[in-house]
Amino acid sequence: MPREHQELLQRIVELCDAVRKSGLDPFDVEVREFFDRLRELLPKLKTNEELYLDVQAVLGLADVIFQQGEWIKHKSSLLYLDPLLITLKLYALPARDLAEVLVRSWHPIIDLESLSLPAIREGLDYWRNLPALDERFKELGVTEVMTGEIARRELAKMGILSDEDLTALLDRTWRELKEAVGEKEFISYWKFIQGKSFEETVFRAWLVSFLVSYGYATLDINPLEEEINLKPLPKPQVLENVATFSVPIAISREEWLKRRRKHA
């Protein structure tokens, strides 16, 4: 679509929005002229995006006509007074005079708080479910357990600690990545994380996520080619002035099997 057509459509949409949101005088909008322009433009519009903008513009102008109706109703009502005059008064009068204006036009509502049926039911339910006092203050039954020792290997078996420190593990994976890349600049992400088992593949993907987050490597994603490349950095660094974002990469067992068969 020629740029000026798009600009015209966008200008109409924005103008109509401004009338709705910021209380601009709707009669400032040349509705008829804009409709004439839209009619001329319509045969030239081809894509969905162009037609969508056109629809938005027509809806916006229809809303402006509605606002004009409301404006006429307001101006013809006894409540209409020059807004400028009102604003000047609001600026000029001290707080006490303004408060007096409110008080003299004010008829406060008189009402009394009372219990409603749902509130009584809620109270009753609460009371019925409330444990007896002796139950509420009953001490928790705690058995004292003496402290003991557990070997690091046992903790690793339980999955609480890894056999290796995470930093050392990352360092090792980083060196492995640099070796795998060799002379080239990068390696395919999928190739690098591919392990002998599905669990190992997921584990390597997890390590790679740390490598990228901690500045050991970068991910280069080409969505059109559906390629993800992994590039190791010579030394860990926090990249400044670079837009960073999270990239979710799903790994399913089926996908892993398919890749494994492909590379077998």
User: Which DSSP letter does residue 27 get?
Assistant: G
Residue 196 contacts residue 153 (beta carbons within 8 Å): no
Residue type, 51: L
Considering the complex, what minimum distance in angstroms separates the CB of residue 125 from another protein? 20
Contacting residue, 1, 8, 20, 176, with another protein by CB under 8 A: 20
Is residue 258 near another protein by the rule CB under 8 A? no
Considering the complex, what minimum distance in angstroms separates the CB of residue 102 from another protein? 4
Name which of 23 and 215 has its Cβ closer to another protein.
23
Considering the complex, what minimum distance in angstroms separates the CB of residue 109 from another protein? 5
Nearest-angstrom CA–CA distance, 248 and 225:
17
Burial 17-42, CB ≥16 within 10 A → b, else e: eebeeeebebeebebeebbebbeebe
- Binding pattern for the stretch 162-181 against another protein, x by CB under 8 A and - elsewhere: --------------------
- Binding pattern for the stretch 78-117 against another protein, x by CB under 8 A and - elsewhere: xx-xxx-xxx-xxxxxxxxxxxxxxxxxxxxxxxxxx-x-
Considering the complex, what minimum distance in angstroms separates the CB of residue 61 from another protein? 18
Size of residue set near another protein by CB under 8 A: 42
Nearest-angstrom CA–CA distance, 69 and 71:
5
Nearest-angstrom CA–CA distance, 188 and 215:
18
Considering the complex, what minimum distance in angstroms separates the CB of residue 56 from another protein? 16
Name which of 39 and 107 has its Cβ closer to another protein.
107
SS3 assignment, position 262: helix
Angle (CA) 133-136-142 rounded to 5° is 140
Q: Which residues bind another protein (CB under 8 A)?
A: 20-23, 70-71, 74, 78-79, 81-83, 85-87, 89-114, 116
